[in-house]
Amino acid sequence: MQPILNTFAAEMKNEEARKELIPWIGKTGKMLIVFLNNRLIEHGIGLTAKQWILLSVLHRGDGKPQQELALITERNKGTLVRLINTMEDLDLVKRIEDQTDRRVKRIFLTDRGRKKYASALPIVEQAYSELQQGLSMAEIKQLIGTLAKVMENIKNHSFIH
């Protein structure tokens, strides 16, 4: 399948490629979530990809305010609140009132959340490795750079800052 797609992309006219770029990014993102969900289900981890993402963010820096988590995970406030509620019900995270500003709720991993993260990590790393198969380090870095430019353009032309 890959050679056909590579040939397809190489043979595109410039204007056609410009029109196809954003839909391809969207399709790839959706496929990634489905792929990761399936891997987590296959291994009986009991997490969704979106829950994994939040656990991963909190693992790198616990106790972030909900507002900051919404920006980092690129979710709107309502979607994030529902995700946190579900994860709180599963005892994966807990909300704690900020000591200096009672309006701010900080989100922390629970012991169960840390254990879930640890059990999911090897599965997620293996899945990521499989998805990068056939890509050179130069291609990976170039793709990250290209996607970073697209993200910057989105931020510069929208309400997302």
Q: Are 93 and 54 in contact (CB under 8 A)?
A: yes
Alpha helices in the chain (DSSP H): 2-10, 14-42, 49-60, 66-73, 77-89, 111-131, 137-156
CATH topology classification for 33-153: Arc Repressor Mutant, subunit A (1.10.10)
Q: Where are the domains of the chain?
A: 33-153
Say which range, 9-18, 33-42, 132-141, has the weakest mean pLDDT: 9-18
Mean pLDDT (whole number) for 22-44 = 94
What's the pLDDT at 1? 46
Mean pLDDT (whole number) for 69-89 = 90
What's the pLDDT at 38? 96
What's the pLDDT at 142? 94
**pTM for the whole thing?**
0.80
With 70 as the cut, is the pLDDT of residue 56 above it?
yes
pLDDT bracket for residue 96 (50, 70, 90): very high
With 70 as the cut, is the pLDDT of residue 161 above it?
no
Q: CB atoms < 10 A from the CB of 49, how many?
A: 17
